[in-house]
Amino acid sequence: MDFAFTPKQVALQQWVRQIAEEKIAPIAEEADESPTVHAGLMAILANEGLLKYCVPEEYGGVGVRVMDLCIIREELARVSCQADTNFIMQGLGSYPITLGGTDEQKAKYLPPIARGESIAAFALTEPHAGSDVISMKTEAKLDGDDWVLNGQKKFISQAGDASTYTVFAQTEPGQGSRGISVFVVEAGTPGFDDSKRMDLMAAHPTGEPKWVDCHVPQANLLGERGRGLRLAMGTLDTFRTTVAAAAIGMAQAAYEASIEYAKNRQMFGQNLSDFQATQFKLADMAVSLDAARLLAQRAAWLKDSGQESVIKEASFAKLFGTEAATRIIHEAVQIHGGAGLERGNRVERLYREVRALTIYEGTSEIQRETIARQILKD
Ligand SMILES: Cc1cc2nc3c(=O)[nH]c(=O)nc-3n(C[C@H](O)[C@H](O)[C@H](O)COP(=O)(O)OP(=O)(O)OC[C@H]3O[C@@H](n4cnc5c(N)ncnc54)[C@H](O)[C@@H]3O)c2cc1C
């Protein structure tokens, strides 16, 4: 196993860091507090060509590699949570098309996503079906040449701003994991309403799209009928590790802010960083960051090297990375004292933003369940 970055990966990291620091940082606070996709931020991601990393080479991208996605997510999330979300949703939202689409479907939908002309969304979760996705209620029934969709989703990132939705629905109710199919639904299709937005503790653009007798052509079915859950799991298996990378980027920002603050905050005739209690906090942060990075890089490397299943390694990375980041950012607020609670302070925003990461794309409890299943099987 070789975790050393290739020269191409080192160059990618330097390039994204420069974009993040020079172009995104000046608008990061405003963008991160926006409950809708921030047009200026999306334009930077598109114009710089970053969105191409979410799409295969043959369809206007540069290819989807987990290590590249991790490098990009860490650098973006270090500066702006919204930049990270906008970036990765182009990949997550379109990956069922990449995995299961026909050449025609890929040629139609993927190039505009790589160019940022079309925003993608991944619509799986419902009000009564989160971790237990199989219990989803959204249904699609064949009516002549059309599929007719009825149902509602919840917590769908970028809903309301997106134009290309991959939507999971029951086509064979009662068939469990073999009864779900996935469709591409374009915004503006009659019977599709994506106007309802959600208001979360950190301004992550999310919505509750719904479908009432919404007709989509048969050509919008992705992959085999009844095998949509395989596309969902294939997508999450690829992207789960990258959530850890985003968490690491956020924790890295909190760690850097804590060192800076501790070195400059004067008290009792010395600096905050002179106290052993502070030094131990910083040491624990540094070790957790390193461990989280190594777990994420291992899972990414294994996936990119073609290992058939990285379920266990991706869950290790997601579980440890997101929980470590939550702890690191919690301690960063503590080091900042009252200043860490002030709106406008970087660690205050991170404290709100990091909370979602142990919940989305499989909660920590689901990761532990997955890991336990794998180790008991071994
Ligand atoms: C910011 C944000 C963005 C999101 N974006 C998207 C998106 O773009 N597309 C999408 O489809 N979804 C999205 N989601 C939804 C997300 O994937 C779900 O919130 C997540 O899967 C959990 O589902 P739930 O919220 O319904 O919680 P529930 O599944 O109801 O879980 C509630 C609690 O029960 C626990 N639990 C569940 N099962 C078990 C078990 N077997 N044993 C013990 N405890 C258990 C959970 O871990 C959790 O603590 C997003 C969520 C957030 C917060």
- If DSSP states are collapsed to H, E and C, what string results for 28-57? HHHHHCCCCCCHHHHHHHHHCCHHHHHCCH
Which of 155, 161, 229, 240 has most ligand 1 atoms within 8 Å of its beta carbon, as the pocket-test mutant?
Answer: 155
Domains of the chain and CATH, by start = 7-118 (1.10.540.10), 122-226 (2.40.110.10), 229-377 (1.20.140.10)
Distance between CA 285 and CA 328 in Å, rounded?
Answer: 6
With beta carbons less than 8 A apart as the criterion, state whether 80 and 41 touch.
Answer: yes
Mean pLDDT across the stretch 101-119?
98
C-alpha of residue 130 to centroid of ligand 1, in Å: 5
Residues in CB range of 200: below 8 A, 6 or more apart: 206, 356
pLDDT at 246: 98
Percent of the chain residues topping a pLDDT of 90: 97
Burial class (CB in 10 A: 0-12, 13-18, 19+), 270: exposed
Query: What is the 8-class DSSP label of residue 5?
Result: P
Distance between CA 274 and CA 263 in Å, rounded?
Answer: 8
pLDDT band at 308 (very low <50, low <70, confident <90, very high): confident
Residues in CB range of 36: below 8 A, 6 or more apart: 160, 161, 197, 205
Mean pLDDT across the stretch 25-52?
96
Q: Which helix (H) or strand (E) holds 123?
A: strand 120-123
C-alpha distances in angstroms, 66 versus 79, 159, 172, 214, 296?
20, 24, 33, 35, 10
Distance between CA 62 and CA 259 in Å, rounded?
Answer: 37
158 Cα nearest atom in ligand 1:
8
Nearest C-alpha to atom 51 of ligand 1 is from which residue?
360
Burial class (CB in 10 A: 0-12, 13-18, 19+), 297: buried
Nearest C-alpha to atom 23 of ligand 1 is from which residue?
130
Which residue ranges have their beta carbon within 6 Å of ligand 1?
122-125, 130-131, 155-157, 200, 204, 206, 356, 359-361, 363, 365-366, 369
Per this entry, what is the length of the chain?
A: 378
pLDDT at 309 exceeding the cut of 90:
no
pLDDT at 1: 61
Report CA torsion sign: 344, 348, 354, 356: negative
pLDDT per position as a tens digit, 47-75: 999 999 999 999 999 999 999 999 999 99
C-alpha of residue 124 to centroid of ligand 1, in Å: 11
Query: Is there a catalytic annotation at residue 361?
Result: yes
pLDDT at 3 exceeding the cut of 70:
no
The dihedrals phi and psi of 22, each to the nearest 5 degrees, come to -90, -40
Amino acid at 76: L
Distance between CA 303 and CA 65 in Å, rounded?
Answer: 8
Percent of the chain residues topping a pLDDT of 70: 99
Q: Which of 30, 57, 361, 365 is catalytic?
A: 361
Nearest C-alpha to atom 38 of ligand 1 is from which residue?
131
Mean pLDDT across the stretch 282-305?
97
Q: What average pLDDT does the chain have?
A: 97
pLDDT per position as a tens digit, 188-224: 999 999 999 999 999 999 999 999 999 999 999 999 9
With beta carbons less than 8 A apart as the criterion, state whether 234 and 99 touch.
Answer: yes
Distance between CA 362 and CA 209 in Å, rounded?
Answer: 20
Instruction: Among 2-11, 41-50, 361-370, name the one with the lowest average pLDDT.
Output: 2-11
pLDDT per position as a tens digit, 226-284: 999 999 999 999 999 999 999 999 999 999 999 999 999 999 999 999 999 999 999 99
pLDDT per position as a tens digit, 111-159: 999 999 999 999 999 999 999 999 999 999 999 999 999 999 999 999 9
